[in-house]
Amino acid sequence: MDALERLIDGNGEHVARLRHDHFEGVRDGQDPDVVSVSCSDSRVPAESVWNARANGDLFTSVNLGNQVWTDIDGERVVNETVGYAVSVLNVDLVVVLGHTGCGAVAAAYEAVTGGDGVKSLPPAVEAAVERLVPIVGSAREEGVFDADTPHRLAVNRLVVRAVSEQVQFLVDDCAVPADVTVAGFVYDFQRAYGDEDGAAYLVSLDGETPPDPL
C-alpha cells in the first residue's frame, strides 16, 4: 500500500471513530483555550502529546523548529499562528513545544560549529535555520556547550535554550497580551530526561525556569 492509500484508509478509520455529535457546537466557529506550536518532526504528534481529543480544544501549528516568530521587512515578529490565536481567538495559553533530537536545531548547531552535517537547503528551510543560529551562537559564548560536548547532548541543551528564548520573546512582545500565559516544553523520545517515552517537560513558564524543569 502506498502512502496516499494509507492516508485515505486512515481518514476512513478517523471518520468511523467520530461520534455523530463530535462537531456539535463548533461547526460554525472555534473557541480554543490553547495554541500549541510544535515541530514538524514526524515523531511529535501535535495533538496527542496533550491528549487533546475533543474537537476545538487546541489551536495548533507545526513548523521547522517549533518557531513562534517570523521576519517581515527585516523585523522579527510574532508569527501568523500565534498572532491569530492571541488576537482573534483570545487564547489563554501559548505553548512552545520543542523536542529532543530536533533536526532544525541540529542544523543551526552545524552552521555555527562548521560541522560535517552542513547541507545545502532550500531557501525557506535555510531561512528557518538562520532564525535559530543566533541562539546557538550565544549559547556557545555562554558555555552551554563546547567542542568536547557530545553532539546529542549539545543539541538537546540547545533545544531547551531555543524553547526558552522563544517563550521570552513572546512574553516581551506587545502582540501577546500580558494576561496570556506562555509555557515552554520539551517532548522527549530519546529518554534524555527519564524513562518515560513521550513525556513533555516544562522548561520555561512566562520566561522563568521552573525548579528542576527536566
| 174 is annotated as contributing to ligand binding | no
| 99 is annotated as contributing to ligand binding | yes
**C-alpha–C-alpha distance, residues 54 and 30, integer Å:** 12
Domain-embedded: residue 12:
no
Residue 37 to residues 10, 21, 33: CA-CA distances in angstroms? 24, 28, 14
Domain-embedded: residue 70:
yes
Question: The CATH number of the domain where 189 resides is what?
Answer: 3.40.1050.10
Is residue 99 a contact partner of residue 41, using CB atoms and an 8 Å limit? Answer: yes
Question: For residue 86, what is its C-alpha cell?
Answer: 492571541
Domain-embedded: residue 117:
yes
Under DSSP, is residue 2 helix (H, G, I), strand (E, B) or coil?
A: coil
Number of domains in the chain: 1
- Per-residue pLDDT tens, the chain, 214 aa: give them: 699 999 999 999 999 999 999 999 999 999 999 999 999 999 999 999 999 877 889 999 999 999 999 999 999 999 999 999 999 999 999 999 999 999 999 999 999 998 765 678 899 999 999 999 999 999 999 999 999 999 999 999 999 999 999 999 999 999 999 999 999 999 999 999 999 999 999 999 999 987 665 5
Q: What is the pTM of this model?
A: 0.93
**C-alpha–C-alpha distance, residues 197 and 65, integer Å:** 20
The pairing of strands 69-72 and 75-78 is antiparallel
Domain-embedded: residue 56:
yes
